[in-house]
Amino acid sequence: MSRLSQSGHSSSASRESIAPDRSTRSSTLPQRTLDDVRDQVAYEVAVRTITKGETVDGVRLGVMLTLSKTDDEEFLRRVADVLQKQMLLHNHVFAIATTGPSTRSDPKANTLLICGAPETYVQRAVLLASSKLLGRIQLTHNDGPIWVAIVRNMSPAPASADETALWDALRKCARAPMDPLVPPPGSRGAAEALAGARARLQRLTPTQAHEELLAPAVGAPTFLVDIRSESERARSGGIAGSLIIDRNVLEWRFDPRSDERLLIVDRYDLRVIVFCEDGSASSLAAVALLDLGLLNATDIVGGYRAWQKAGLPVDMDLDVGTEPSVIQIID
């Protein structure tokens, strides 16, 4: 045999000896199960949810809508498990939901899962989301850090109404609670509101109000209006000739635009003098009438108590149940 043939034979043998055994290689690779595939998909959905999320007051949050699967709840719980492991050291709250036709007996029944830590974020998110999905939640299950619900007709992404609503719920639940002892910006205390109201009024003392009511000629129809409660009138009496109007309906009775107005309220230049027991509620009521356009409205300084103290006439036998609506209102 020639050297060339010997060499070729040797080379062929060498190649055969180092070539991989395909049967051996395929037998050593792990076989992927359906569970492995589901875990991989759940992992990808979880990572995408975190990546596309946002941080509000130190809380990571996100919303993800995915197409319905064979077992929606089981799949969403896999996603939640990944989310919780990835965010173990961080405050977080996430909402994941399925959309589209469901494999359930009701094809319009989708699954919504909210998970997070601490659990307070989940509970806040659940309350907010439930109000936005009113009438569509059929069944719920609460495990503390995980809440699952069956929701009818979850609208599909992108930019669906349900996705927007869930984002809004998560953002609001993640906001740090305000210090309950610090007033919100722009708010006013009752005393400040009362002072602001009185700054807009030309208030009358009891004597001034009495003299104005007795004047033989006035520039506009003038009325004394008692807005006290029935129990206050029963205890302290009243002023004969005053109109008894419940505070709850004062604006409707004295609004010339209202179908429930008094028959006498047919013009905006009426002189309305309001009084309450001590002159506090009456100031706020008079300003409410100013805002309706009754620019001559005012109240009595000190209210009914000051009227009594000034020795002005009162009626202790007043029919406390008298309602002007019975005798002279309403168109």
What is the greatest pairwise CA distance in the chain? 149
Give the chain's end-to-end CA distance (angstroms, integer): 129
Q: What residue ranges define each of the domains in the chain, with the CATH number in brackets?
A: 35-174 (3.10.310.40), 192-327 (3.40.250.10)
Task: Give the pLDDT confidence score for residue 220 in this predicted structure.
Answer: 87
Residues 6+ apart with CB under 8 A from 280: 194, 303
Q: Which residue has the tokens 């990808």?
A: 44
Distance CA 249, CA 91 (A): 49
What distance in Å separates the CA atoms of residue 4 and residue 249, rounded to the nearest whole number? 117
Whether residue 256 is preceded by a cis peptide bond, meaning omega within 30 degrees of 0, is no
The pLDDT assigned to 329 comes to 36
- Which residue in 223, 192, 197 sits closest to 281, CA to CA? 197
pLDDT for res 296:
96
From the CA atom positions of the chain, what is the Rg in Å?
38
Q: Which helix (H) or strand (E) holds 38?
A: helix 34-51
Scanning the structure block, which residue is given the tokens 């027991």? 277
pLDDT score at 22: 54
Predicted pLDDT at 29: 62
Q: Is the pTM of this model over 0.75?
A: no
Question: For 179-229, what is each residue's pLDDT tens digit?
Answer: 778 888 889 999 999 999 999 999 999 999 999 999 887 788 999 999 999
* Contact by Cβ (8 Å): 190, 134: no
Query: Which residues of the chain have a pLDDT value below 70?
Result: 1-29, 157-159, 318-331
Per-residue pLDDT at 28 = 63
Identify whether the C-beta of residue 252 lies closer than 8 Å to the C-beta of residue 331: no
Q: Using one digit for the tens of pLDDT, what is the confidence trace for 50-95?
A: 999 999 999 999 999 998 877 889 999 999 999 999 999 999 999 9
